[in-house]
């Protein structure tokens, strides 16, 4: 399926000069939604891992159904202050400021292999922080699967050394 014909381009959002790739149009009909989830899962079918991690919020949209299809557990990666139990945190730099992500302290056991599933690979900053957090917890990031990759932003370079798959590339 050619998702570029379904994804809606919105110029100058959220600010002037940005071309926003709106994936909500993919979710509006069952056939492209199923095809998108299947495409994100395809690469992971040949990877040995225990859990899928998905960063909020659109990583949940792809991560939970991928976990269901692949018969794996799902771990939400949230912004600071959103998880109800004991957490481990990782702060990282954004273009303008800092952000902090959190995972429940008991979500990843030492030696577990994880795959990260998200809607978008842009600069790679969030996924790099997730990888560092997983590794600090004793886990291993064995693969990442994204629906869209924005090539010009160099996220793959930031994540060099990791197995990365993207369905749609701009």
Cβ–Cβ < 8 Å for 130, 162:
no
What pLDDT is stored for residue 69 in this prediction?
A: 98
pLDDT in tens, 72-105: 999 999 999 999 999 999 999 876 779 999 999 9
pLDDT, average across residues 137-148? 98
Handedness of CA 105, 143, 78, 96 (dihedral sign): positive
What pLDDT is stored for residue 154 in this prediction?
A: 96
pLDDT in tens, 55-67: 999 999 999 999 9
| Residues noted as catalytic | 58, 95
Cβ within 8 Å of residue 93, ≥6 positions away: 125
Task: Give the ranges where the chain is alpha helix by DSSP (H).
Answer: 24-27, 30-44, 58-70, 125-136, 155-158
Question: What b/e readout covers 145-156, taking b as 16+ CB neighbours within 10 angstroms?
Answer: bbbbbbeebebb
d(CA 3, CA 5): 5
pLDDT in tens, 5-14: 999 999 999 9
Cβ–Cβ < 8 Å for 86, 165:
no
Task: Find the radius of gyration of the CA atoms of the chain.
Answer: 16
């Amino acid at each position: 399926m050619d998702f570029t014909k379904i994804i809606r381009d919105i110029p100058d959002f959220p600010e002037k000069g940005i071309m926003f790739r709106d994936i909500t149009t993919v979710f509006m009909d069952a056939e492209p939604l199923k095809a998108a989830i299947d495409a994100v899962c395809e690469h992971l079918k040949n990877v040995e891992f225990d859990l899928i991690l998905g960063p909020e919020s659109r990583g949940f949209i792809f991560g939970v159904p991928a976990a269901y299809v692949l018969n794996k557990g799902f771990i939400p990666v949230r912004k600071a202050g959103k998880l109800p139990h004991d957490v481990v945190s990782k702060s990282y730099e954004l273009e303008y400021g800092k952000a902090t992500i959190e995972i429940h302290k008991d979500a990843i056991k030492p030696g577990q292999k994880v795959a990260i599933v998200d809607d978008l690979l842009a600069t790679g900053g969030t996924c790099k922080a997730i990888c560092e957090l997983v590794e600090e917890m004793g886990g291993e990031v064995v693969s990442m699967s994204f629906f869209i990759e924005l090539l010009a932003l160099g996220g793959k370079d930031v994540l060099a050394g990791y197995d990365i798959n993207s369905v749609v590339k701009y």
